[in-house]
Amino acid sequence: MMEKKHPEQGYRACLGLMRLARNHGRERMEAACERALAVGAYRYRSVASILRRG
């Protein structure tokens, strides 16, 4: 959220991540987020891609 000019722009990404967690489950979401952080991928699209590819 710090990268955006307006914090409100980051809210949509947060809501999207919450939706991904609901659809894929908490354990898979945690693992995907850990992997994204490990490779420096801090965007919704990156986490969604990790979940999609398994």
> What is the domain partition of the chain in residue ranges?
8-53
**pLDDT value of residue 2:** 63
pLDDT, tens digit only, all 54 positions of the chain: 566 678 787 788 889 999 999 999 999 999 999 999 999 998 899 999 999 998
Name residues whose C-beta falls within 8 Å of residue 21's C-beta, 6 or more positions apart in sequence: 29
Q: What's the CA angle centered on 39, arms 2 and 53, to 5 degrees?
A: 105
Q: Taking the C-alpha atoms of 37, 42, 45 and 51 in order, what is their torsion angle to the nearest 10 degrees? A: 10
Q: Is 51 in contact with 29 (CB distance < 8 Å)?
A: yes
* Confidence (pTM): 0.78
